[in-house]
Amino acid sequence: MHIHIAGICGTFMGGLALIARQLGHHVTGSDQGVYPPMSTQLTTQGIDLHPGYAAHHLEPKPDLVIIGNSLSRGNALVEAILDQDISYTSGPQWLAEHVLINRWVLAVAGTHGKTTTASLLAWILEHAGLSPGFLIGGVATNFGRSARLGESPFFVIEADEYDTAFFDKRSKFIHYHPRTAILNNLEFDHADIFANLEAIKQQFHYFIRTIPGNGRLIINASDPNLGQVLERGLWSETENFCAINRTPVTGIPPGPGWQYQLDKPDGSHFSLFLDGTIQGQTHWPWIGDFNVSNATAAIAAARHAGVPVSHALQALQSFQPVKRRMEIRGEVKGITVYDDFAHHPTAIRLSLEALRQVHRDRKIIVVLEPRSNSMRMGVHQHELATALSSADQVIIFRPPDLDWDPATVSKQIGTTAHVCDSIDSIIEHLVRDLGSGDQVIIMSNGAFGKIHEKLLERLGK
C-alpha cells in the first residue's frame, strides 16, 4: 500500500512513518519544515520527503493519506485530498487500528517528561529481553531511532494530549487504550487548542476512562492537578510515586507507593523504595530530580509488565540520554554547547537547576527561542523570568511573528538578559563574552536555524 503522510517530520508522524515502512508499506511524506534529526531518520529508511504541502505531492495518487494535526482546512494538500476523494485518517487512529490492536500498550502521559520516560521504559523492557515496539517523540539514543514495530506484545508510546487532527479534536491519547499508563504531571500548555487548564484536565479524565479495570495507573503523587483529575473517577489499579520527603496530595489514591531518594544532590545516584522497603540503589549518566522521578515511573511501569526492579535499575546504568534533552552538541576551547528541547517554564527551570547542580561554579548562559504555540502567544511570558533565574546570562530570540515582546522578560531579569532579533546577532553576542568553562544551553523545540552548529563553528575560528 502507498501511504502518504502529511506532516511527516513531526516527532509523532515521523515515528509513524518508520513503523509503516517496517510493515512493508511504500511511504512518502510532506512537511513545511524538513530538518534533522527526523529528516535524517526518514531518508535513511528510503522514505521520500517533499517540502511544503502542494497538491502535486499526491502524484501518483496514494492509497491512503495520514494527516497530521498541524494541517487544517484551507491547506492546499488537505483540499486536494478532499476534492479527489482520497482515503484519509489520523495518525493516532491508524496506529490504534494497525499497530496497537491486541498489544500490551504502555502509555506515558503528562505535560513534561514524556519523551524521556517513554525512552527509559522502552530501554528497560529491551534490556530485559522483551524487544518492545515503541513510538517516542524524539530519537531514543539507545535505539538510534524514535520508533519501531517491535517483536513482542509490548508497545511503549508517548501519549500526547494534543489534538488528533482537524477532523478529530480529541486528544491523541484517547486512541491508545493502554493497559499500563503513567501520569507524570499536568500543567497548562497548548494554549492554541485548550482554553484553560480545566479543558486539559477533562481530556486526562477521558484518558483514564479508557484504561481497563485490570490495567494499572502509575501516578505522580505530588501533582495536585492530577489529584483533581483522579477525583472525577478511577476504575483501574493504581501505584503512585514521589520523592521520599514529599507527601501525596489530595485525590491521589493510597499506595502501593514508590519513593526515591537522591544519594547525590545532582541525582546521578539514587535509592528506590516501595512501601517503605528499599528496592535497590543505582548510578546513571543523567542528572536532575525530575529525571529520577521519570526513572521511578518507568521502573514501576516495567514491573507491571513483569520486569524485576533489580533488572530495571541495572538497565538505567546503560541508558543514553535522548536526543535534544540536555544533549551536548560540542565543546570548543572549554566552552560546552547543549541542545535542550525545553519550551515550557517548568521544563526550563528544572533543566537549568539540574545543570547548576553539576556546574555550581561555572557560568551558565541560556539562549531561548520562544517557538511553541503557547510561547508565541505569550501565555507563559510572566513565568519566564523566574524559570530562567538559575542562569548567569540570558539571551531571548525575538522572531518577527511573536505576539509579545521578550523585552518585558529581559527587564524583569535585569542587566544579565538581552533580546536579539537574529541568529547572527545572538552568535556575535555570545562570542564576545564566552570563555573557557562556560556552559551554553540552547532551548528550543525546533531546529532554531542550526544555531548550535553555527556557534560551534564560529567558536572554532
What the chain holds in terms of domains, given with CATH numbers, is 2-89 (3.40.50.720), 102-316 (3.40.1190.10), 327-460 (3.90.190.20)
pTM: 0.87
Mean pLDDT, the chain, integer: 90
Mean pLDDT, range 399-415, rounded to an integer: 84
Each as own residue / partner, the long-range contacts of residues 252-261 (CB below 8 Å, 24 or more positions apart, any chain) are 252/219, 252/221, 252/226, 252/227, 253/219, 257/221, 258/296, 258/299, 258/300, 259/296, 260/292, 260/293, 260/295, 260/296
For 278-329, the pLDDT digits (tens) are 999 999 888 888 899 999 999 999 999 999 999 999 999 998 877 777 788 8
- Which tops the pLDDT comparison, 382 or 306? 306
Statement: residue 35 has pLDDT above 70: no
pLDDT at 232: 96
Mean pLDDT, range 367-384, rounded to an integer: 81
Share of the chain above pLDDT 90, in %: 57
pLDDT at 184: 95
For 208-249, the pLDDT digits (tens) are 999 999 999 999 999 999 999 999 999 999 999 999 988 888
Peptide bond into 60 cis (omega under 30): yes
Edge-to-edge strands of the sheet including 88-90? 48-51, 26-31, 2-6, 64-67, 88-90
Mean pLDDT, range 87-102, rounded to an integer: 97
For 323-351, the pLDDT digits (tens) are 777 788 888 889 899 898 877 888 888 78
Give the integer Cα–Cα distance in Å for 236 and 233.
10
For 179-217, the pLDDT digits (tens) are 999 999 998 787 778 889 999 999 999 999 999 999 999
pLDDT at 322: 73
pLDDT at 85: 97
Confidence of residue 371 (pLDDT cuts 50, 70, 90): confident
- CA angle, residues 349, 351, 352, in degrees to nearest 5: 65
Share of the chain above pLDDT 70, in %: 99
DSSP letter for each residue of 217-259: EEEETT-HHHHHHHTT---SEEEEEEETT--PPTTPPP--EEE
Mean pLDDT, range 355-373, rounded to an integer: 86
Q: How far are the Cα atoms of 37, 39, 433 from residue 42, in angstroms, in the given order? A: 9, 5, 38
Confidence of residue 387 (pLDDT cuts 50, 70, 90): confident
Q: Which of 321, 328, 419 is nearest to 367 (CA)?
A: 419
Cβ–Cβ < 8 Å for 216, 180: yes
Mean pLDDT, range 6-13, rounded to an integer: 90
- Which tops the pLDDT comparison, 385 or 165? 165
